[in-house]
Amino acid sequence: MIGKAKSIAHTANAVDYAVKKNGAEIIDKRMVVGESGVEIAAEFRVFQDLNHSTKNKSISMVLSPEPEDGRKLGNTEFRNIANEFLSGMGLEEHQAIVVKHTDRNHAHLHIICNRIDSSGGTYKDKFIGKKAQRIADVVAGSLGLIRARVVRDLKKKSSLQLRNEIYRLHKEAMNSMPMDFTQYVDVMISKGVDIEPAVNKKGKLQGFRVRYQGQSFKASEVDRNMSFSKLTFTHNTKIGSTPTIRKMQGRKNGLSL
């Protein structure tokens, strides 16, 4: 689950965006009774008028469970998520409205909260974005939901596996002793790896990206030994020379010149 938060000045606009979205549903209110941006902003101002020094007097937050979790959760579970999150953020005693969105088959919450408490005190918002990420991750773990950290680790592992596979194919291509970069490209394409050359203003090759199984990487991101400057070929034509570029311009598969 991903959590986002930032302090805002325009309460009414934030609330209207949340509640007027197609399919939006208000699932909880905290110390407010209104449902429109104007109404909620007016209720927030009761406490905000006690504070004349703070500029951004409201907080906009978004909680996004992984789509797999979101499809399973009902309003009761979403309210519980919001409660746990607000408590973890230290905002459980602040006015707030909680709205669920289900657009794009991705259920998530928008929470607009009063940054000013009933005594006129200001909630400290230093590093509030990072705090929201951390608390959302803690809440996800405590409620048995998929944690953002786990998703990041899985993506990182998947990326590493892809890069290792690309580098293996690259070594196979180089072991076939291609005469030049054009021939190298053809060999890589035959192995299912598309090559996207980077050409400078003078029309010379200066690097390339590889695309494999829907993922794209700079060659140097795959492995430092795969960087453009370290490629060597059997033909004595300079890699970035005009003849090499011309040969490649006729290629369509995997090339973006």
Given a cut of 50, whether residue 242 has pLDDT beyond it is no
Domain assignments of the chain as residue spans, ordered by start: 2-146, 162-249
Q: What is the pLDDT of residues 145-165, one digit of tens each?
A: 888 666 566 667 678 888 899
SS3 per-residue string spanning 235-248: CCCCCCCHHHHHHH
**How large a percentage of the chain has pLDDT more than 90?**
64
Of the two residues 69 and 79, the one the predictor is more confident about is: 79
Looking at the chain, the whole-number percentage of residues with pLDDT higher than 70 is 87
Q: Are 196 and 251 in contact (CB under 8 A)?
A: no
Max mean pLDDT range (10-14, 65-69, 70-74, 235-239): 10-14
Q: What is the pLDDT of residue 48?
A: 98
User: Quick check: 104 pLDDT over 70?
Assistant: no
Lowest mean pLDDT among 25-29, 105-109, 233-237: 233-237
Distance of CA 139 to the CA centre of its chain: 19
* Range 29-57 average pLDDT: 98
> What are the b/e assignments for 130-154, b being 16+ CB within 10 Å?
ebbbbbbbbbbeeeebbbbeeeeee
* pLDDT for residue 251 is more than 80: no
The pTM of the full predicted model, rounded to 2 decimals, is: 0.63
Q: Which has more pLDDT, 30 or 251?
A: 30
Which CATH architecture fits 2-146? 2-Layer Sandwich (3.30)
Q: Decide if pLDDT at 236 tops 80.
A: no
Position 214 confidence tier, pLDDT thresholds 50, 70, 90: confident
Give the least confident one: 83-92, 212-221, 247-256.
247-256
